[in-house]
Amino acid sequence: MLRNRAETFPMAACGLYKISPPACNAETVERLRLLHPEGDLDHPKDSRPSTQQETDFWESEVGTNLLIDVFSVRNMGAYFRSVSPLGAPDPDGWRGREHISPLFLKDDTEAQERIIKHLIVPYAKGEFLQSDLHEYAGGRLSAFFKKDLIKIRPINNPSRWRRCAAHLINAHVKLDACTYFTETIPNFIQNAGSIDGAIVCAELVSMIHDLAQDNDNPKIICQVDFKNAFQSPNRQLCTNDTILGVATREYDEGNVKIGDILPHLPALKSFFPYFRSMGDVASRNLYTDHEGTTHHIQANVVAFKAIRWR
């Protein structure tokens, strides 16, 4: 099979492809379905704020000011001007730099605020009709071969508006996240996001490796790889427990009990409706095959994929 694929993509077989070739054959749809299984969405919800509590918060002075601060016209314009040009369009064809950024270059504040109110803020507040929620949580799938030209790597392009909301939430809590990790975890070293982060990390590893070793108290370098691809994390942990800080199931072979306090970032709790709405539904992802037929790939979305700290 590898030989046949190499004949089909000779440049890829020679290592000349900068981007893996697309996986376009009769097997791709089924392989995508296998990589996007539907998990259990029936989670305990006792620790969650009620709908009325969420509504009261967003209508309060604190909630109102939070929305104004995070989703300002200035922040929106800065985000869309900074996204990569000619990026892949979302399911509706929107490209941030080419299509949306020009909308924030003029002084039409009224139109810009309508965009924010109706297309961005609903993600933060989780205000969606349940019948439409799977569409908002989904995206447009593409599939590419990995280096071996056998395994496939799905790439999901969700709504540009959803990515904008997640980015601005991320930017708002970034300093709190930095403080949390550096002040509560003694051996936390932050290199991600810095220009020479990889170099600094390599130098630290080399330095630790060269230090004299104590057999009774050896120095250990651990590489932790969180398996996050293809819907593998537990939804209950990702979209509920680690945001609210209360365990609703047992973890660590029973060492963590239901009701135990979990480490969490308090700054994210206000945006729990985002995680709730994106994590409580099987997303509907669209994949168009090599014959032009569009398929629905149902899966449980991982809300954390859209929220990351750099």
Would you state the pLDDT for residue 187? Answer: 67
Would you state the pLDDT for residue 240? Answer: 86
φ/ψ region of 188 (left if φ > 0, alpha if ψ in -120 to 50, else beta) reads beta
Among the listed residues 89, 91, 90, 165, the one whose alpha carbon sits nearest the alpha carbon of residue 127: 165
Beta bridge partners of 154: 143
Q: Both tokens of residue 267? A: 């700054």
- Pairing type for strands 139-145 and 282-288 reads parallel
Per-residue pLDDT of the chain (310 residues; tens, 9 = 90+): 333 333 343 333 333 345 678 888 889 999 998 888 777 788 788 889 999 999 999 999 999 999 999 999 999 999 999 998 988 889 999 999 999 999 999 889 999 999 999 999 999 999 999 889 999 989 999 999 988 888 888 888 999 999 999 999 999 999 898 888 888 877 666 655 555 656 777 777 777 777 777 777 776 666 655 554 545 566 777 778 989 999 998 988 899 999 999 989 999 999 999 999 988 888 899 999 989 999 999 876 443 334 444 3
Would you state the pLDDT for residue 20? Answer: 77
Q: Helix, strand or coil for residue 143? A: strand
Would you state the pLDDT for residue 171? Answer: 94
DSSP state of 212: P
Among the listed residues 220, 229, 265, the one whose alpha carbon sits nearest the alpha carbon of residue 244: 265
Let me know the angle formed at the C-alpha of 84 by 79 and 89, rounded to the nearest 5 degrees.
95
Contact 217, 211 (CB under 8 A): no
- Pairing type for strands 139-145 and 152-158 reads antiparallel
Would you state the pLDDT for residue 223? Answer: 61
The residue count of the chain comes to: 310
Would you state the pLDDT for residue 4? Answer: 39
CB crowding 212-221: b at 16 or more within 10 Å, else e:
eeeeeeeeee
Contact 32, 297 (CB under 8 A): yes
φ/ψ region of 233 (left if φ > 0, alpha if ψ in -120 to 50, else beta) reads beta
The full DSSP string for 228-297 is: -STT-S-HHIIIIIHHHTB-SS-BGGGTBPTT-B----GGGGGGHHHHHHHHSSEEEEEEE-TTS-EEEE
Would you state the pLDDT for residue 81? Answer: 94
Residue 34 is inside which H or E element, if any? Answer: helix 28-35
Would you state the pLDDT for residue 119? Answer: 95
Q: Both tokens of residue 123? A: 């993600």
Chain mean position to CA 279: 11
Q: Cα(231)–Cα(252) distance, rounded to whole angstroms?
A: 20
